[in-house]
Amino acid sequence: MTAVARVYRWEIAKLLAQKRTYLGLGSAVLVPIIFVVVLVLQTGGPNDVPLGRNIRDTGLAVPFVVLFFMSIWGLPLITALVAGDIVAAESHNGTLKTILTRSRERGEILTGKVLASVTYVVVVVFAMGLVGVVAGSIAWGFHPLTSLSGTQVPVGHGFALLLASLAIYALPLAGIAAFGLMLSTITQNSAASVVGALMWALLMQLLSVLPGTESFRPYLLGTQFEAWHGFLRVPADWAPVIRSLWVSGLYILLPLFTAYVVFLRRDVTGE
């Protein structure tokens, strides 16, 4: 096993030993369950959101609707909770100097943390999506999905589209994680980084709904949370998907680059 892989494995082990990880993951899987329970008990529904009218047709539609609601602040908060803490907590506890005085280079340690943060984001998104399918299918069955173009999509294909959508949805979320990790590295303060990353996400959402931002709206991070719509059109619209790949990529790479520059040179003093 390479050095980075060992660091990564321990970063995951550390996440698994901390309450905040389960707090985030738990909320992410609880939301679709609550969503389904409420919709079973109530009539009416989220008619204004993509696939909202079709939510009672099939369990496959549930995750897509939940993705919309969770993109505003739910998932950014869950992401920031872990990514904003991942370096700062170690600065605060003084464990950063403990691991920096072993044989691993700083770059290897930060890479392990980056990979662990990304893993967390991916696990959260997919757990939320899959729990949504299961909960929705229990309530309304596992039936073909109605696409955004109004056509019927068979269940197998629909499920594949869901997986692709979850994957493309995880990208802008990774952008928020990267921003949180950068703040975590710079501020060395967990609370400030969590709040800062969340504010960043909210600002991105705010800019994408304010008037006058139309010209640069496609390049805002918040817009990328809708890239999956492209998969649900018939035929598939690749433009938003491809744009999200590179736009989200920039939102991931620029903060990460900053985090590396800071982390590699920083004086580690601690308590």
Query: Using CB under 8 A as the criterion, what x/- string covers residues 57-96 for binding other proteins?
Result: ------------------------------------xxx-
Exposed (0-12), middle (13-18) or buried (19+): which is 41, by Cβ within 10 Å?
Answer: exposed
Please tell me the distance from the alpha carbon of residue 157 to that of residue 185, in angstroms, as a whole number: 42
Q: Which stretch binds other proteins (CB under 8 A): 39-47, 97-105, 151-159, 205-213?
A: 97-105
7 near other proteins (CB under 8 A): yes
**Minimal distance, residue 269 CB to other proteins, in Å:** 6
Sign of CA dihedral 218, 224, 229, 235: positive
9 near other proteins (CB under 8 A): yes
98 near other proteins (CB under 8 A): yes
Question: Phi/psi zone of residue 132: left (φ > 0), alpha (ψ -120 to 50 degrees), beta?
Answer: alpha
**Minimal distance, residue 178 CB to other proteins, in Å:** 24
Question: What is the H or E stretch that residue 152 is in?
Answer: strand 152-153
**Minimal distance, residue 123 CB to other proteins, in Å:** 19
In terms of Cα–Cα distance, which of 214, 212, 215, 177 is closest to 196?
A: 177
20 near other proteins (CB under 8 A): no
Identify the bridge partners of residue 153 per DSSP, sorted by sequence position.
145
Query: Using CB under 8 A as the criterion, what x/- string covers residues 104-143 for binding other proteins?
Result: xxx-------------------------------------
212 near other proteins (CB under 8 A): no
CA dihedral 66, 67, 72, 78 (to 10 degrees): 90
The residue count for binding other proteins (CB under 8 A) is 27
In terms of Cα–Cα distance, which of 115, 114, 120 is closest to 78?
A: 120
Please pick, from the candidates 48, 101, 156, 212, the single residue that binds other proteins as defined by CB under 8 A: 101
271 near other proteins (CB under 8 A): yes
Question: What is the H or E stretch that residue 229 is in?
Answer: none
Where on the chain is the footprint of other proteins (CB under 8 A)? 6-7, 9-10, 13-14, 17-18, 93-95, 97-106, 265, 267-271
